[in-house]
Amino acid sequence: MDTVIELSGVVAVLGQFPALAGVDLSVQCGEIVLLQGPNGAGKTSLLRVCAGLMPIERGTGHVLGIDLATNREAIRSRVGLLGHANGLYLDLTVMQNLQFWASTVAATASEVSTAMSTMRIDGRLADVKASQLSAGQRRRCALASLIVRRAEIWLLDEPHAGLDAAGRDELDALLRSAVASGATVVLASHERDRALDLATRTVTIDGGGAA
């Protein structure tokens, strides 16, 4: 399997405080890696470093072969980071939201259609405004946008937040399906038992370092 994320001794600083203190992490293509650790341990910072949003101060890191130290902005368009917000336009319908994302990356109508059916937001839901969707449906719409954008690595921060039990089951199934289609998933979740079932591997972050 190809290594898609390779971090060695990575130090990152948030303001004046160290957010990551010498993290080593290696993720292979097709894995579902769970980051676990207490609040403030650095899970979100690690996801942001992997997304090319946060600079590294020391150490070396490569994501999809791209050097984090010298070219991290090039990583952004190849990974999808989904935080607590879904990144949707609430006055646009599901279809219009995905068509917008598709037009920013020159994705085809059939790719949009595939993403919608994969995330089960096609049919009646396609013409519903995002503001009228349930939390779970919005989450599915946000994940569909990652498919449309052809994100190779899905970086998910608390993806189960705000979902009911059925929605969480559905999300897990969708993530397994995404991995089967070639994506790699790195997620941070406080839903420990659920996430352990989902993950192929766990990495513990404590005090900004990974173990």
Could you say whether residue 150 binds another protein (CB under 8 A)? yes
Q: Is 70 among the residues that bind another protein (CB under 8 A)?
A: no
Q: How far is the CB of 207 from another protein (least distance, A)?
A: 26
62 binds another protein (CB under 8 A): no
Among 3, 8, 71, 104, binds another protein (CB under 8 A): 104
Our finding on whether 96 is near another protein (CB under 8 A) is yes
Asked if 91 touches another protein (CB under 8 A), the answer is: yes
Q: Count residues binding another protein (CB under 8 A).
A: 35
> Cβ 77 to another protein, closest distance in Å?
4
Which of 9, 18, 122, 129 contacts another protein by CB under 8 A?
129
Establish if 69 lies at the interface with another protein (CB under 8 A): no
81 binds another protein (CB under 8 A): yes
Nearest to 209 by CA among 35, 54, 51, 50: 35
Q: What does the binding site for another protein look like in residue numbers (CB under 8 A)? A: 51-53, 73-78, 80-81, 83-93, 96, 100, 103-107, 129-130, 138, 145, 149-150
